[in-house]
Chain A
Amino acid sequence: GAGVSQSPSNKVTEKGKDVELRCDPISGHTALYWYRQRLGQGLEFLIYFQGNSAPDKSGLPSDRFSAERTGESVSTLTIQRTQQEDSAVYLCASSGGGLAGGLYSYNEQFFGPGTRLTVL
């Protein structure tokens, strides 16, 4: 597609329920990122996928959070047993870069519109 898309745009759930958030990156982009933005705060890195390499999960806040990516396309972020502190906007980004000749790409990341998650 023309840009990164995310669904749903809004999600309201009850505490303790599981939620799945979806991200469709820009076609051809090998790198995909998930970030969390709490109200009035900056972006917090969650997880990074690069091609077939093992994902960088260093930002996931707890084992309730997990993410998968199918090849170099769609990614799903799953939050199990949601808590009120999980309420935030979850942003997905993709970039066209990747490991090439041992050098990291310096390409900018393109962001989706986000999913606003509200846990009651």
Chain B
Amino acid sequence: AQSVAQPEDQVNVAEGNPLTVKCTYSVSGNPYLFWYVQYPNRGLQFLLKYITGDNLVKGSYGFEAEFNKSQTSFHLKKPSALVSDSALYFCAVRDTGFQKLVFGTGTRLLVSP
């Protein structure tokens, strides 16, 4: 079975500082990994994905994520946080041969001015 864990319910960071939102996964085959962001009263927006290739994936709004197979992790990062980055972030995984996404429980990012 495929699963995703987001160990932090909330991450607090000051504007201008680097941010990391953690995600670990478990799949039986090759993982296809995604990050989505959810702003209040809005649907999920796609940020980035890892399918294969380079372990460092760059996405929207200056976000990037690093795929680490040995640690089964796919942490979301940004070098300099903005207040407008404050939102709910979801990591998701899709196992080989499956179409449905399995989502983590989400991490609330709070960037203070």
B-contacting residues of A (Cβ < 8 Å)? 4, 31, 33, 35, 41-45, 48, 50, 56, 58-59, 91, 93, 104, 106, 108-114
The total of chain B residues at the interface (CB under 8 A) is 24
A-contacting residues of B (Cβ < 8 Å)? 32, 34, 36, 41-46, 49, 51, 90, 92, 94, 97-106
Contacts of A50 in B (CB 8 A): 99
Contacts of B92 in A (CB 8 A): 43
Give which listed residue, B34, B36, B43, B51, contacts A114 with CB less than 8 A. Answer: B43
Known A33-B100, A108-B49; contact A42-B105, beta-carbon cutoff 8 A: yes
Contacts of A48 in B (CB 8 A): 99-100
Contacts of B42 in A (CB 8 A): 113
Known A91-B43, A109-B46; contact A56-B99, beta-carbon cutoff 8 A: yes
A93 and B90 CA atoms in complex are apart in Å by: 15
A45–B34 contact, CB under 8 A?
A: no
A114 and B41 CA atoms in complex are apart in Å by: 9
